[in-house]
Chains A and B, each alone.
Chain A
Amino acid sequence: MTALATRSSRPDGRRRPRARHAVGGLARMERRWGIGLALPVVVGFVLFTVGPMIASFVISLTDWTIGGKVRWVGFGNYRAMFGSDDLFSKSLGVTLYYTLLAVPLGLAIAFGASLLLNRDVRGRGLFRVLFYLPVLVPSVASAVLWTWVYNPDFGLLNQLLRAAHLPTSQWIYSDTMAIPSLAIMSAWGFGNATVIFLAGLQGVPRHLYEAIDVDGGGAWAKFRYITVPMMTPTIFYNLVMGLIATFQVFNEAYLMTSGGPDNATLFYNYYLWRTAFSDGRLGYASALAWVLFLIVVVATALVFRSARRWVYYETGDGR
């Protein structure tokens, strides 16, 4: 008798119904294969993501500095972060400012480009390729390229402004213009979001536009009352992806500005990296990482919560 049978025996000798637990041969085989095939991912996730996350949380409760002795400090790192670390608030402010500029700008440009590319114009395929090309440029190459574009003396932008007799800018070398400059640079890689928007646009039913035509509405009415509402799930997706990406921005500060001038581009992730691998303060850096994780979770949750008010799903509550 199986263990199951033993356990399911009642004092009165009758057995519990086993239908809920018992499975057939095919189902059993499917389950074994399912577990077997999922196992590498699950094990990888546990070992290389969840495990290190727990480890980093434990480390964040210590004052571990590379080469030094490790002491348990409880939530001391978190208290220091919110109490006395000006660079924490500075880096958080810089990252939020960048997010507020880069995400809407990127969404607007990508959405606009997708509307243009969705029209039936000659060479549409070529335009789609051209708009997508910047995505294929590695981020390091892109950073080097834009460093030249933004050079105040020789850069392309200031040359154009000079030619038009307009005032020039110090761009990434100015503490006030550095973040807007990087936000403009990030918008250059709008191709990914554009492709997703394009896919969304092609899913908007034609008969809705025809209904507007019948009602005598123009292009604006079609855009305002059909395109935008029908595209809100796609906008929502790109918004969430954009938010997460901008919270984790690093390359620009590392390659172009080193966090300067005067910490104007001290992005949170760059500060985290510097704390860990330049200052060697792994305990504090782990605490910074956990706070970033929580910020991203909360921001994403807030966006999801707000989605109920502005995202329209044709199939009802089909999230």
Chain B
Amino acid sequence: MQRSRLPSRRAVLRAGAGALLGGAAAGCAFVPENRAHHLEFLFWGSIYEDRGVHAVSRAFSRRPGRLPVAAQVVGGDYATKINTLVAARQEPDIAYLPAGLAMRLGEGGLLVNLLDYRHKYPQIDDLLPQALHYYTETAAVPQTAVEVMMLWYSTRLFSKAGVPEPPVDTASAWSWDRYLETCDRLTFDEKGRRPSEKGFDPTQVRQFGATAPTTVNTTLYALLRSNGADLFDEKGTRCIIDSDAAVEVVSQIVEMMYEHRVAPSPTLLTSMNTGTALLLKSGRVATTIDGYWNLLDLANAQFPYGAGVLPKFQEPMTAQTSGITGIFKRSQYPEQAVEFYLQMADPRSCPLYKQGLWMPLERSFYTDPKLLATWTDTKIHPAGFDRSTAQPALHNVSPDPTFRIRNSSEVFAQLTPALDPIWLGKHRGTASVRKALRHAADVTTPFLAGVYPDVKM
């Protein structure tokens, strides 16, 4: 009879070690190739954006010699998805990228330098300077679109209260005090009393005049810049949100919620918030400072709305932001990806500009009346839109600091939660707010690691 034996201990150990090393190698080095004959495009966005992107990708693919575009909208946590794909060397040909990640990947040599194509596509030279972000002195990535902050409002609530609507010219922008005064006239409790009237019940507010502009890199940033303040110093090595000018702005926003009582607290807003369009349409809020992209939802909500310039502290100012559209160097078709991007960036071929989601990247679409009309001459753009939004986008704009600051993901992960107690009303009065802002600056500064060249205005 054939005999067999158990494997020796040494053989078992050898086999085990081999399997472990194999497993480890699999964990470290499994890099499948993905080079199908198409352009892979990853992006985030609503169902409307999805439709718009697919309209452009279909039109692009129909042109002779162009590849099909596999456009895939990613729901949920986009940053995790794209980070994972890059770590696994499975990045798409072209993708939307969050600001900080785009600058990091550009510097790491993973992204195509758009400026390398300016000789072939002259429209690149027409891009607004604040829409091109330099990760080195000579290499830059472009924004997906332009988005500026503006003052949205419900015209019905203004006329009902007999209050003049916000100005559309930066020259006549409301002062912050005037804005608060207007908000007071637009805030009512259940019995119709205003905050400045005796007996006002702050626990039973039917309609607020405003929402508090507390988003650090956009709405708050616009007001900080309006008062000559900033989040970080020039070299990007120190957080200066505890400057006198910043303390004044932040204190005013805190007072807006807890003293003037014309804006809901963040926790109350959380329970009301179904998006800017529905907040205004439902009559819960009369005005709100938010991005241009809301126009798409406002247009679909079917109610009368308007847009004005932001209130000012010293100078009229707005903030501008957007994601980046990055083309990966590992793409086998970088030139086609650049062409696809430029087609997305053209308001004549992409419907998302007319629909109110994006503002153009090229200067001529703001300065040439005919081109300006291609995206603003619509039923959805409010009266005076050119002056209230398009012109400030050229002349009164501060770019989102997220692009400029190195290590921005970690920096804002420190700064944003450090401001939470302030917005929650734990710090009232200038001295207390100053102390809290000093704490925020202290916890943020150690994470600052300098700046990228960024925008060349």
User: Which residues of A pack against B, CB within 8 Å?
Assistant: 2, 4, 18, 21-23, 25, 28, 43, 46-48, 50-52, 54-56, 58-59, 65-69, 86, 147-148, 151-154, 170, 173-175, 258-263, 274, 276-280, 282
Cross-chain contact A170 with B424 (CB below 8 angstroms): yes
Interface assignment of B302: CB less than 8 Å from any CB of chain A:
no
Interface residue ranges of B215-266 to A (CB < 8 Å)? 265-266
Q: How far is the CB of A151 from chain B (nearest CB, A)?
A: 5
Contact in complex: B409, A4 (CB < 8 Å):
no
Chain A residues with Cβ under 8 A from B86's Cβ?
66-67, 280
Contact B26 A280 (CB under 8 A): no
Contact: B108 with A23, CB < 8 Å? Answer: no
Residues in chain B near residue A276, CB distance under 8 A: 83
Q: Which residues of B lie under 8 Å from residue A147 when comparing CB positions?
A: 270
Interface segment out of the listed B42-50, B286-294, B339-347, B414-422: B414-422
A43 to B329, CA, bound (A): 36
A62–B152 Cα distance when bound, in Å, is: 49
B84 within 8 A of A: yes
Contact A153 B80 (CB under 8 A): no
B413 at the interface (CB under 8 A from A): yes
CA–CA, A258 to B419, complex, Å? 13
* CB–CB B23/A51 < 8 A: yes
Contacts of A261 in B (CB 8 A): 417, 420-421, 424
Cβ of B19 within 8 Å of any chain A Cβ, yes or no, is yes
Q: What are 18 A-B pairs with beta-carbon distances under 8 A?
A: A4-B3, A50-B23, A51-B27, A55-B26, A58-B28, A59-B28, A66-B87, A67-B107, A68-B108, A174-B424, A175-B420, A259-B413, A261-B417, A274-B413, A279-B410, A280-B83, A280-B87, A280-B104
- Expressed in whole angstroms, the minimum distance between the Cβ of A42 and any Cβ of chain B is 8
Give the residues in chain A near B6, CB-CB below 8 Å: 21, 23
A152 pairs with B267, CB closer than 8 A: yes
Q: A47-B23, A262-B417 are in contact. Are A21 and B5 (CB under 8 A)?
A: yes
A26 to B16: give the CA distance in the assembly, Å: 26
In B24-79, the 8 Å CB interface with A consists of 24-28, 77, 79
Beyond A22-B4, A67-B105, A173-B424, 9 extra complex contacts between A and B, CB < 8 Å: A21-B5, A46-B23, A51-B22, A66-B104, A153-B203, A153-B265, A153-B268, A260-B416, A278-B79
**A51 with B271, Cβ < 8 A, contacts A261-B417, A280-B83, A280-B101 known:** no
Q: How far is the CB of A284 from chain B (nearest CB, A)?
A: 11
Q: How many angstroms between the C-alpha atoms of A100 and B110 in the bound complex?
A: 45
B421 touches A175 (CB 8 A): yes
Is B161 interfacial (CB-CB < 8 Å)?
no
> Which partner residue on chain A sits nearest B416 by CB separation?
A260
Give residues 75-112 of B contacting A (CB, 8 Å).
Answer: 77, 79-80, 83-84, 86-87, 101, 104-105, 107-108, 110
Instruction: Give the residue name and chain of the A residue nearest to B84 (CB).
Output: A277
Output the nearest chain A residue to B265 by Cβ-Cβ distance.
Answer: A153
Interface residues of B (CB under 8 A from A): 1-6, 19-28, 77, 79-80, 83-84, 86-87, 101, 104-105, 107-108, 110, 203, 265-268, 270-271, 407, 409-410, 413, 416-418, 420-421, 424, 443, 446
Contact present for B26 and A51 (CB under 8 Å)? yes
**A259: contacting residue among B22, B24, B80, B417, CB under 8 A:** B417
A262/B23 contact (C-beta < 8 A), A4-B3, A280-B409 known? no
Contacts of A48 in B (CB 8 A): 23
Q: What residues on B are CB-neighbors of A67 within 8 Å?
A: 86, 101, 104-105, 107-108, 110
Partner of A260, one of B25, B27, B268, B417: B417
Complex partner residue of A170 from B83, B101, B267, CB under 8 angstroms: B267
Closest residue of A by beta carbon distance from B424? A173
B266 CB contacts on chain A under 8 angstroms? 173
Residues in chain B near residue A86, CB distance under 8 A: 443, 446
Residue on B with the closest CB to A155?
A: B271
Residues of A within 8 A of B420 (CB): 173, 175, 260-262
CA of A170 to CA of B266, assembled, Å:
11
Known: A173-B267, A279-B409. A28 touches B4 (CB 8 A): yes
Name the distance in Å between A278's Cβ and chain B's nearest Cβ: 5
Going nearest first, the 5 A-B pairs with the smallest beta carbon separation are: A51-B23, A55-B27, A261-B420, A54-B24, A67-B108
| Alpha-carbon distance A28/B3, docked complex (angstroms) | 9
Measured CB to CB, the closest approach of chain A to B90, in angstroms, equals 12
Whether the Cβ atoms of B417 and A69 lie closer than 8 Å is no
Assembly CA distance A153 to B284 (angstroms): 15
Is A2 a contact of B265 with CB atoms below 8 Å?
no
Is the beta-carbon distance between A46 and B19 smaller than 8 angstroms?
yes
Most buried by A among B27, B77, B83, B203: B27
Q: Is the CB of B83 within 8 A of A66?
A: yes
Chain B residues closer than 8 Å to A43, beta-carbon distance: 19
In whole angstroms, what is the CA distance A59 to B88 when docked?
14
Residues of B with C-beta under 8 A to A262? 417-418, 420-421
Judging by beta carbons under 8 Å apart, are A58 and B24 in contact?
yes
CB <8 Å contact, B24 and A55: yes
Bound Cα distance A202, B10 (Å): 48
User: Contacts A58-B24, A280-B83: A151 and B104 contacting too (C-beta < 8 A)?
Assistant: no
Give the residues in chain B near A151, CB-CB below 8 Å.
267, 270-271
User: In whole Å, how far is A182's beta carbon from the nearest beta carbon of chain B?
Assistant: 16
Min Cβ gap B453→A in Å is 18
Closest Cβ of chain B to A73, distance in Å, is 16
Question: Which residues of chain A are within 8 angstroms of B418 by Cβ–Cβ distance?
Answer: 262-263
Bound-state CA distance A47–B22 (Å) is 8
Q: Which residues of A contact B19 (CB under 8 A)?
A: 43, 46
A51:B20 contact, CB within 8 angstroms: yes
CB-based contact B424/A55 at 8 Å: no
A148 surroundings in chain B (CB, below 8 A): 271
A154 touches B271 (CB 8 A): yes
The CA of A65 and the CA of B268, in the complex, are separated in Å by 39
- The distance in angstroms between the C-alpha atoms of A78 and B417, with both chains bound, is 26
Taking CB atoms, residues of chain B closer than 8 Å to A25 are 1
B residues less than 8 Å from A277 (CB atoms): 77, 79-80, 83-84
